[in-house]
Structure 1
Amino acid sequence: MDSADAMLVSGLRRYHERIVAQFARSLRQERNPLVADPVALRQCREHARSILVELETCLDPAPQPVSATDGIPAQIGETRASSLQSPGISFAAAATLFSTIMRTVGEICTDPEQAIAVAVTLNRIVNQRVGAALMSYSRYLLDNVHRAHVQERFRIGRELHDRLGNDVGAALQLSRLAAFYLPDSQERTDALLQDVSTSLSRAVGEIRTMTFQLRSLVGGRPLKDVLTECTDQLALTVPVDIRLQGDECWIPDYVGEELFLVIREAVRNAGRHSAAARIQITVVVTPTEAVASVVDDGVGFDTSLPPTAERTGLSSMQERVRLFGGSLEVTSEPDAGTRVRVRVPLPGERR
């Protein structure tokens, strides 16, 4: 390493904390949303220090190289994804850090060619780390999608067992009894076969209902019509009041599908487990958000307790909502009913 490189590395090390402090000030001046989150801002500072160390290592190859495998980019990607922050925020922060470091390099370095070489090296380091963070960001979201799909398969499995198992099992036992009595009593055999037919008819009806529920998505139809059709198919024993305010044209089709699935799951849970006398669905649509609530006057539950088998659908609902940058809030108390409230941001464009 020649004397110019040695001076540059020495200067960068001397100005480490000044660069990091200036980077944080620049983020505030640019109103980058990361400064509002103490955890995100701390990660930005740590990442800036790590990038400076890697840059110095590249300029001075004697020490052990440091790379993006230090784990910070992966942590940043997962944190941004879990807090539903756009990757564009991190891109802007990376550009700010690049400019901040290069301003200090310009103060230390008098050779334009050396400054260009530093800029090329720094650009490569930043791009590698941004790429690693993006991979972590995407992996986190894909894992959430996978978990939501797995939970949905478990739910379908429970539905098949609970709703079809009894009727099909009963039909099987009755058919065996009918075969046993067939030689001796035609009257008893006929009665058993009638019971078999009734059980199988119920099972076929359940299959049709479940098939409808799996296929019954919005598909551009009015949300109130789809919800009414859905509640009819769920065969609830309590009345359901559906109210919709605002213009549905603000809801993109892909958001409408997911919103419907969340509402349907909340209504199904209320109908099965709440012992409610009434269920109310309310959807309010504005150009910037859709807010849906499902309220019942049933037995309620203690939200501080661990989820039970009846409440496992809540996690799947939360995953669906979070993928679209929304939120889901469940409020309930024993003997005081339950309220599920969903907020989903909208792009502000008519479909």
Structure 2
Amino acid sequence: MRSSCDSSPPADRAPPGDGAVTSAFTPDAHFRLLVESVEDYAIFLLDAQGNVGTWNNGARRIKGYEAHEIIGRHFSAFYPPEDIAARKPQKELDTAARAGRVEDEGWRVRKDGSRFWANVVVTALRDAKGELIGFAKVTRDMTDRLRLAELQHARDLSAHVQAALEDERTSIARELHDDLGQQLASLKMQIAALDAERVGAGFARHSLRDTQGIQAQIDTVIASVRRIAAGLRPPVLDDLGLFAAIEWLVSDFRRRYGLAVTLDISGDEVGFGPDASMSVFRLVQEALTNVVRHADASKVRIAIRCAKDRYTLTIQDDGRGANLAGPRAANAFGLLGMGERVRQLGGVIAFQSSPGEGFRISVDLPLNGLG
């Protein structure tokens, strides 16, 4: 028994001056205080079945629940209905149990029903025997970062649209000037020559060959006008449908650029409204244009599959390929535009490529979004 006047320090406390730091907290208490004080991250524990066991201030701030409202409930309460229907919460626990941890970004739901974009890490916790005893879950609200990314995406897309419009105007102006302009100038000169002959001789002396030459020139002008108009919106798309328009487009690229294009279409053309047909047509057109401008390819394969509820499009070339993880390439805005078209149709687009290995574009669209 220690006397109240005993001046020797307790056995578990070093005497002052020996460099030790005294504290009223144990390491566990320090750690618990740290976790509970963090407000930028929701940090909490789940039991092996996924029920919430602890709750910190960050979890309360981000998710909106007080501790007594959520402890004991299953963590699937934080997921939107579509993720619950797809069993995403359980799949994340299964993956974490198998691999040790899982990281995901996606929409989560607050107590008031509002959604936020979250980065989530789930780590499996095991006892000394290796038995699963639960999970540690760390969630960060990334909504602001997502909004900044979406804003940057919108800015990039707007810049791409403006650049595409200017390119299109430049292309049309060049064709009007260099093609139609020269042909019309030549036609005018031929007519002027005939007029000179008529005035000089007092009567028309032009031959049938001259007239036929003018007719041939007019036919060429008409063909050029039709080609330019078809580039803006091919009449075959409205008259015969999407698949016929794609066949016309492929034939045009074969003829104009000597490109060996294989086209494989299976299934029935059903469910395509006018806007969706134009979007899909532009996808193929932009992909082929990228091949001509950037790929240095000799062969292209286009495969179209129409099932009862899905539409898939694959475009693959044997060109130089690209490093998709590197700096933005010259055709990156074209890919951005294709991605936006697919997004508006409710579909998914994927790009696969590496230097020297060609380029592959895969598109998957729900037919119910193509009306």
The answer to whether the 8 Å contact 1:281/1:295 transfers is yes
Shift of 1:221: 2.8
Which stretches in structure 1 are left out of the alignment for 5+ residues?
A: 1-12, 51-71, 83-138, 176-200
1:213 matched to which residue of 2?
Answer: 231
1:223 correspondence with 2:273: no
2:165 matched to which residue of 1?
Answer: 153
- For 1:313 and 1:267, the matched residues in 2 are separated by 11
- For 2:333 and 2:174, the matched residues in 1 are separated by 15
The answer to whether the 8 Å contact 2:180/2:224 transfers is no
- For 1:205 and 1:309, the matched residues in 2 are separated by 32
1:257 correspondence with 2:307: no
The answer to whether the 8 Å contact 1:237/1:271 transfers is no
Shift of 1:240: 1.7
2:66 matched to which residue of 1?
Answer: 16
For residue 162 of structure 2, what is the amino acid of its counterpart?
A: V
The answer to whether the 8 Å contact 2:79/2:107 transfers is no
For residue 365 of structure 2, what is the amino acid of its counterpart?
A: V
- For 1:345 and 1:140, the matched residues in 2 are separated by 27
For residue 223 of structure 1, what is the amino acid of its counterpart?
A: L
Q: TM-score scaled by structure 2?
A: 0.48
The answer to whether the 8 Å contact 2:160/2:333 transfers is no
Give the direction of change, closer, same or farther, for the CA distance of 1:336–1:163 in structure 2 (3 Å limit).
Answer: farther
Give the direction of change, closer, same or farther, for the CA distance of 1:314–1:48 in structure 2 (3 Å limit).
Answer: closer
The answer to whether the 8 Å contact 2:350/2:361 transfers is yes
- For 1:320 and 1:307, the matched residues in 2 are separated by 19
Give the direction of change, closer, same or farther, for the CA distance of 1:76–1:237 in structure 2 (3 Å limit).
Answer: same
Please give the residue correspondences for 1:307-322 in structure 2 after superposition, counting only pairs within 5 Å. 307-322=328-343
**Matched length:** 237
Give the direction of change, closer, same or farther, for the CA distance of 1:49–1:335 in structure 2 (3 Å limit).
Answer: closer
Equivalent residue of 2:257, what SS? coil
The answer to whether the 8 Å contact 1:287/1:347 transfers is no
Give the direction of change, closer, same or farther, for the CA distance of 1:28–1:278 in structure 2 (3 Å limit).
Answer: closer
The answer to whether the 8 Å contact 2:322/2:356 transfers is yes
The answer to whether the 8 Å contact 2:260/2:299 transfers is yes
The answer to whether the 8 Å contact 2:265/2:304 transfers is yes
Shift of 1:213: 1.6
Tell which structure's C-alpha radius of gyration is larger: 2
Please give the per-residue CA displacement for 1:8-36, whole angstroms capped at 9, x wherever unaligned: xxxxx997234356595446696366968
Identity between Structure 1 and Structure 2 (%): 21
Shift of 1:287: 2.0
The answer to whether the 8 Å contact 1:283/1:291 transfers is yes
Please give the residue correspondences for 1:143-292 in structure 2 after superposition, counting only pairs within 5 Å. 149-157=161-169, 159-160=171-172, 208-216=226-234, 218-219=237-238, 221-234=240-253, 235-292=256-313
Shift of 1:267: 1.1
- For 2:340 and 2:257, the matched residues in 1 are separated by 26
Higher RCO (C-alpha 8 Å, min separation 6): 1
Equivalent residue of 2:270, what SS? helix
More helix by share: 1
1:44 correspondence with 2:110: yes
Q: TM-score scaled by structure 1?
A: 0.51
The answer to whether the 8 Å contact 1:297/1:337 transfers is yes
Which stretches in structure 2 are left out of the alignment for 5+ residues?
A: 1-60, 93-103, 117-140, 187-218
Please give the residue correspondences for 1:289-300 in structure 2 after superposition, counting only pairs within 5 Å. 289-300=310-321
2:345 matched to which residue of 1?
Answer: 324
More strand by share: 2
Shift of 1:316: 0.8
Shift of 1:322: 1.0
1:340 correspondence with 2:361: yes
The answer to whether the 8 Å contact 1:299/1:336 transfers is yes
- For 1:317 and 1:283, the matched residues in 2 are separated by 16
